[in-house]
Amino acid sequence: MIYITKGITKEEFDILKPRCQCPCHELIPWKKWYKQHGVPKYINGHKPNMTDSEKKENRKNTTAKYRQTHKEQINKCQRIYLEKNEKKVKSYYQENKKQISEKQCKYYQKHKEHYNNKNKKYRQEHREQIKKMKKEYSITPNGKINKAKSEDFRKRNLGSEMLNDWFEGCNRHHINTKQIICIPKELHELYRHNHKKQETMVKINRVAFQYLIDTIKQI
């Protein structure tokens, strides 16, 4: 990408050139560029007689394409900037915390499906790594506190009405927020489930009811 400056002297150009921090960009005088290459077909990446909306769309596509092909260079520039301006960035985030949060929420809601698919793919590809990280975090002081909080909250909202008797090596499975069926640990761990997501409860509840029916038949 080339930034063509409007007629400046060599002295002015020598002053401006070092200010371009990104290694991807080169600053050259426009007159010199015209002599070497002739009049460009597109000026600043836009075709002649383009409307504002077309320019905006063209700029958006060009930027997206550039970001995809120069990911490493952009990340490197961002890291250098953050290292040099750490205090400035922190103060900006503290002063504009509410606006940044609202903007991020709005962006997430707009691209929710994309992020859900991306996170799902990442979890599938890094299952063992995530499991290891969770295990390591659960040992830390903060991990223990958060785990205790979530367990307390869950227990406060779940009942204790038993539909069968407890036995050695069983897990108590809540088929709903009130009733419990005791089933073997192996069956309870067949399917991951969560009461916040009812679709995850269908399979495990089917297994629990089938086990309860089979045990009643044997009596």
User: Can you list the pairs that 73-78 forms with residues at least 24 positions away whose Cβ atoms lie under 8 Å?
Assistant: 73/22, 73/23, 73/24, 77/21, 77/22
pLDDT of 141: 86
For the stretch 70-104, pLDDT in tens is 888 888 888 998 889 999 989 998 999 999 999 99
Give the whole-angstrom CA distance, residue 90 versus residue 87: 5
pLDDT of 34: 54
Does pLDDT of 37 surpass 80? no
Flag the least confident range among 22-31, 59-68, 126-135, 194-203: 22-31
Phi and psi at 113, nearest 5°, equal -65, -40
Question: Is residue 147 very low, low, confident or very high in pLDDT (cuts 50, 70, 90)?
Answer: confident
Give the whole-angstrom CA distance, residue 157 versus residue 200: 18
